[in-house]
């Protein structure tokens, strides 16, 4: 039994090491289209991660997220929508339904992940890590929590659902991390 416990402790330490060294870039999602979506793909770029839902009172925020993506993607920003059905069953659809909803209603073309859990014991590891980095208040406590991750993979800030994606404080946080205007970014 001791050997098993020691092996489990070692495995946990090995799995935690990449997150400690690489921050958010240590985590992988599945893109809404079904292929792996490693956050390491966005290393060197600021990342705004938002847990989303199609039937929420905050769903209209997709429009502002798309505007942020359109305004800042050439300077390096990546907006990542992470659908979740954790709050009020407000994201009941399939990946295809979610993608179609976002494209049809909000012209979303920023990356989306497949639906995941963002709270509780089965939460996606990124959200567990974000709470560890930013504190328990970082939640998420509802849909459309926003998490800003620096180009180095470090958790920088979070904002609750009630803060609009294009609010002054969110935009200021993004702009501090962006490449200077006119500089080319990686795609």
Catalytic residues, which ones?
56
Peptide bond into 140 cis (omega under 30): yes
| Beta strand extents in 10-95 (DSSP E only) | 28-30, 36-38, 47-52, 78-83
Distance of alpha carbon 22 from alpha carbon 154, whole angstroms:
8
Cα separation, 157 vs 118, in Å, equals 17
Structure tokens at 24: 């958010």
CA dihedral 11, 12, 17, 23 (to 10 degrees): 140
Measured distance CA(39)–CA(43) in Å, rounded? 7
- Residue 158 buriedness (CB in 10 A; 0-12 / 13-18 / 19+): buried
């Amino acid at each position: 039994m001791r050997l098993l416990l020691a092996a489990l402790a070692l495995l946990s330490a090995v799995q935690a090491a990449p997150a400690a060294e690489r921050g958010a870039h240590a985590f992988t999602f599945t893109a809404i289209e079904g292929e792996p979506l490693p956050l390491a793909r966005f290393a060197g770029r600021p990342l705004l991660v938002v847990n989303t839902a199609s039937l929420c009172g905050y769903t209209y925020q997709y429009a502002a997220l798309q505007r942020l993506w359109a305004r800042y993607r050439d300077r390096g920003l990546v907006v990542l929508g992470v659908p979740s059905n954790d709050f009020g069953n407000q994201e009941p659809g399939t990946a295809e339904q979610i993608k179609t909803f976002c494209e049809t209603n909000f012209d979303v073309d920023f990356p989306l992940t497949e639906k995941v859990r963002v709270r509780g014991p089965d939460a996606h590891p990124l959200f567990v890590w974000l709470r560890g980095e930013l504190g328990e208040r970082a939640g998420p406590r509802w849909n459309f929590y926003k998490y800003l991750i620096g180009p180095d993979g470090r958790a920088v800030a979070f904002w609750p659902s009630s803060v609009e994606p294009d609010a002054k404080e969110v935009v200021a946080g993004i702009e501090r991390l962006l490449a200077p205007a006119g500089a080319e970014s990686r795609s």
